[in-house]
Chains A and B, each alone.
Chain A
Amino acid sequence: MSTASVSSSRGIRTALSQFFYTDEIPYGVALLRISISFALLLAMVPRWEYARELYSSDGAPTPVWTIYGHAGLFPEPSGELAVAIHSVLILALVTSCLGWCTRFSLIVATIGYVILNSLDSIGTMNKYSVIASHLIFLLCFSQCGDIWSLDNWFRRSRLRRAGVPPEVANAPVCSAAWPRRLLQLFIGAVYFGAALTKLKIPAYFTGEQLQTWMITSYNLPNPIGRFLEPYPALLTIFGLVALVWECAFIFMAWRGISRIAMLGIGTTFHIMTLLTLGLWLFPVVCISAYLPFLNESDVAWFNRLFAGWRERGRGLSAAIGRLFRPREWPLLPTFDPAWAQAAFALVAVATAGGGVALEYKLDRYGMRRPEGPYTLKELDPKYVAEELRPSERIRNEDKVLCFDIGSRVLCGAVVDRRTEFRQGELMKAECDLVPPHEDLWLSCQLLDSEQHMIDNNGCTVSADTMRVIFDYTLGETMPAGDYSLILKIGPDEVIRRSFRVMAVHHGKRLAN
């Protein structure tokens, strides 16, 4: 091996060693611990009263392995066991957030969360929950409980009571950076994988996929999505920016101005998914995943900023600065850490028992009601006849999503919707179809103000085509007036658009 390659490999090893094993104060992972625990509480607390229904053999679990046609990975728990697991999970998320018996809490939370998610693939398990699973799993290996936690408070109290000077007892504990690095690499891999998914979908690049996602009602109401849906060109631009960002994230999110840019774009992207798609927990989880990118110099910068705000004395910024002032916390009673874990175990057992008892009292299924179990709701025979009618073909009018006229096309879509044109202009009529559809004959008829057909333009549209643009040259001899464009599929009129053609005024000619 040559000297250059030896020194090069030593350089790579040194760089990797510094990347993964530099000692640092775990600010980023501590903040992630707090935020992700809180986010998962938002997801799992509302599901607690439905635990029997969602996760147990006494309900209707929908295990993820049924989607994959795989044998069960573990048995479905009984109703009581599912409620007990769920109760202990909520306890573990609370103690993780507070930082009490942090590592043990995170391990319990990870196991409980993955088990329950795997049991309900339609109402609990989602890509955000998988991302969250990775995050809390990796936190189990970190020292995220060494700062901003009850464990740290107990540790400092123990040291101070043992006579250790305050400046030594209160000094933050450093640990190797590799858990934080894995968290960073993980989120970069997620975005890169998401970019790969988008690269495989041609309709992502024409805005068609985003259009239909923005008018879904599977998530929370998304009025901004419904407002943006008729503008596929704009959606295409947003989509391309998002794709470039997802590809670049893992390479540029590490230092300097590019780090701020990548995280800033990401935060904006996820807030937009809330406003346009109605996703709410996905943005919370993903923005939390950015916290490991926070390092010691960032925290020092924030400390200087808040100190400067405090010096102002009055106003909102001074009040915020005072919130983050250094404090001398009172000493807590000290006891052996082993006793803390024993106390945690006792609290967990009590929580499990209490949870099962409370769920029994709530009696979700109503089996112990004074009037007896619920009876089924009887359905109107006419409604049932409608539901069980033979499957029918999709109506032609349901195959069209948009029909717009304009003169300029950007990203394959009309961008300037107009109702007035001048003689001599080129008019473009864009038709967006709803997937899926079969091969179609699409025709566009031009009618004058007296409903006389002037032109009939048609084309075949194959099943994999979702957008068609018809071009019309409004010649100078075309009389000024009102016209209509009628879009038809086969013989059926689907939609019409009215427009006006204005005359073009020519300059005066000299008499011969």
Chain B
Amino acid sequence: MKRWLTHIWISAYVGALLVGLVSHAFDIQSGFHPVMYFLVWDMFCGWSGYEGRMQVIGEGNSGKFYELAPAPWGEFHPYGYIARQHYDPECKQGERLGHMALKHTKHEPMVRLFVVEEEYPKKFNLPDAQYEAYYGKPKNFHKYCHTRFVLTPTGEVLSSQPTFFVYQYGMGLRDNPRLIRDAQRSQPFIPSGLLNESRGAFSSTPFYEALPGRTIGGPLAE
């Protein structure tokens, strides 16, 4: 009996590993459930040449602006020397981080929260001397700021944009007048559902993202 149970367990585990491999190899439902994260081995599945950061800013009643992430009690560095919020590539957790800071600090009433995605080319991570020796000029550091979400203090989305790279991809497509003409001609007057916006081949997340238009997070207890 015990030997049969062992047979079943071994078969089940090896079967689960095979499900993960097949699902990943043929892109079949590899994201349908969180358990797939334990079965699909997609390390370094994508990349971009930009280093991302996230800033969460609160706007008070008085018109002043406050830093919500990192919170005033200090930041946590999970893997290196940068704070935890910077490991959220799509900046979807900014609202949560902002609410944590608001809940545990003394502050004036807030009117809006801003979640800002910052990106800069990774080549600016090179040491100054190495950069100057290779490129023949000092670093002309420039970061791109892209407001991802504007939220109410209770977590409702006032406005949102797709990620910086999807936005750049969209701008690149809009440079093609023929493509824009074809897209406008084929769009219905009244769309029947949410339009999917492609995000380009070089993002590390699924190719399509539904346009946001829903509340993120629950109301903040006040």
Contacts and interface: CB of A to CB of B under 8 A. Distances in A.
Given A386-B145, A398-B142, A436 B165 contact: yes
Contacts, number: 256
A127 B67 contact: no
Given A378-B65, A388-B145, A495-B136, A438 B172 contact: yes
Contact of B43 (A197, A219, A220, A437): A197
A62 interface: yes
B20 to A, nearest CB: 7
Interface stretch (A53-61, A97-105, A253-261, A297-305): A53-61
Interface string B168-185: 110110011000000000
Nearest to B203: A436
B207 interface: no
A61 to B, nearest CB: 8
A178 interface: yes
Given A182-B10, A197-B44, A377 B80 contact: no
B107 A375 contact: yes
B134 A230 contact: yes
Interface stretch (A66-74, A336-344, A352-360, A500-508): A66-74
A154 interface: no
B65 A193 contact: no
A317 to B, nearest CB: 38
B121 A398 contact: yes
Contacts of B81: 217, 220-221
A165 B121 CA distance: 70
Contacts of A125: 37
Nearest to B85: A122
Interface in B91-105: 92-93, 96-97, 99-101, 103-105
A463 interface: yes
What's the dominant secondary structure at chain B's contact region? mixed
B76 A53 contact: yes
A378 B110 CA distance: 13
Interface in A371-394: 372-379, 381, 384, 386-389, 391-394
Query: Which of B71, B127, B147 has the largest count of A CB atoms less than 10 A from its CB?
Result: B71
Contact of B104 (A70, A373, A439): A373
Interface in B135-150: 135-136, 140, 142, 144-147
A382 to B, nearest CB: 11
B82 interface: yes
A436 to B, nearest CB: 4
A377 B164 contact: no
Contacts of A398: 120-121, 142
B130 interface: yes
B72 A68 contact: no
Nearest to B165: A436
A372 B37 CA distance: 42
Contacts of A366: 72-73, 104
A439 B172 contact: yes
Given A182-B13, A391-B147, A434 B50 contact: yes
Contacts of A453: none
Contacts of B17: 185-186, 189
Nearest to A402: B134
B58 A219 contact: no
Contacts of B200: 436, 463
A377 B66 contact: yes
B107 A127 contact: no
A149 interface: no
A66 B21 contact: no
A395 B88 CA distance: 24
Interface stretch (A3-11, A84-92, A207-215, A320-328): A207-215
Contact of B130 (A216, A226, A438): A226
A365 interface: yes
Interface string A213-237: 1011111110000100110000000
A261 B203 CA distance: 35
B21 A216 contact: no
A447 interface: no
A244 interface: no
Contacts of A182: 10, 13-14
Query: Which of A54, A64, A435 has the largest count of B CB atoms less than 10 A from its CB?
Result: A435
A201 B45 contact: yes
Given A213-B47, A387-B145, A226 B41 contact: no
Contact of B125 (A216, A384, A464, A496): A216
A364 B73 contact: yes
Query: Which of B3, B43, B101, B167 has the largest count of A CB atoms less than 10 A from its CB?
Result: B43
Contacts of B71: 365, 374
Contacts of B48: 212, 435-436
B34 A376 contact: no
Given A20-B6, A54-B76, A60-B100, 11 more contacts: A47-B76, A54-B84, A60-B96, A67-B34, A123-B87, A189-B21, A193-B40, A201-B45, A366-B72, A374-B106, A495-B136
Those 3 A-B pairs whose CB atoms lie nearest each other, nearest first: A193-B41, A438-B172, A434-B49
9 contacts: A58-B103, A62-B93, A178-B6, A217-B82, A218-B87, A226-B126, A374-B105, A376-B68, A388-B114
Interface of A: 20-21, 47, 50, 53-54, 58-62, 64-68, 70, 73, 118, 122-127, 130, 133-134, 138, 141, 176, 178, 182, 185-186, 189-194, 196-198, 200-201, 203, 209, 212-213, 215-221, 226, 229-230, 278, 281, 364-367, 372-379, 381, 384, 386-389, 391-395, 397-398, 401, 433-439, 463-464, 495-496
Interface of B: 3, 6, 9-10, 13-14, 17-18, 20-21, 24-25, 31-34, 36-38, 40-51, 55, 57-58, 64-68, 71-73, 76, 78-82, 84-88, 92-93, 96-97, 99-101, 103-107, 114, 116, 118, 120-123, 125-127, 130, 134-136, 140, 142, 144-147, 161, 164-165, 167-169, 171-172, 175-176, 200-203
